[in-house]
Amino acid sequence: MKKSLLDSFNYALDGIIKAIIEEKNMKIHVTIAIAVLIICFFCGLSKIEILIIGITISLVLITEMINTALEYALNAYFSEYNNYVKNAKDIAAGAVLISVINSIIVGYIIFSDKLKPIVYNVLEKIKNSNSHIVFLILIIVISITLILKILNGKGTPFMGGMPSGHSAVAFSIATSIAYLTRTPSGIILGFVLAIIVAQSRVDSKTHSVFEVILGGLLGSLITILIFQLLL
């Protein structure tokens, strides 16, 4: 049966969606890519710089998808251990690693000068702020999280259970950064990192999505409350 052009596009889109949904590394790559594209709006990049960023992001995603497709194909035909199959998978993974390293280098070259003033501003805000407030917030967030875990009776104080402690701390730090700096890029970077931490807890199957969301909300709300009371 001959496929139409529309069918080809649909199959391609299905492949992209499946790769993002089923592969943890693709989720990480896509999340970082979206964050980088958002940051581009605040950095005043030239057309050439935007083009380079786009090509670099595409390269990482393409190599990751080829690596995933190769793994699926090899696993379908070889159920037992085969050294040639292992070598093929390792080489494909190496290609992904090279593209990621290249993206880090490109990102550093393009964003280092543009983000330097923002980073200095964030560090200056933290330096001039009352460090005891941030420390107090983290202690309170961790304590409340541990108490809720114990009351809930699931998991252990430092692994699993309701809510996610890692998410609570990550979003507490991100919210603190948002209070200490008013620059959009600094705020976005803080919350992007917090989301990546939360996503890692779901990917590792340590927490459910609900536990991670609850932890994030808990950390942010407690931080907001303390900042409103003390500042």
Catalytic (active site) residue 64 = yes
- Give me the tens of pLDDT residue by residue for the chain, a chain 231 residues long: 556 777 777 888 888 888 888 887 888 888 888 888 888 877 778 889 889 999 999 999 999 999 999 988 888 888 777 888 889 989 999 999 999 999 999 988 888 777 766 666 655 655 555 556 777 777 888 888 877 777 766 656 567 677 788 888 889 888 888 877 767 777 788 888 888 888 888 888 788 888 888 888 888 888 888 777 665
22, 49, 64, 211: the catalytic one is 64
Nearest to 206 by CA among 147, 172, 161, 171: 161
159 forms beta bridges with 156
pTM for the complete prediction? 0.57
Domain limits of the chain? 1-114, 129-231
What is the CATH class of 1-114?
Answer: mainly alpha
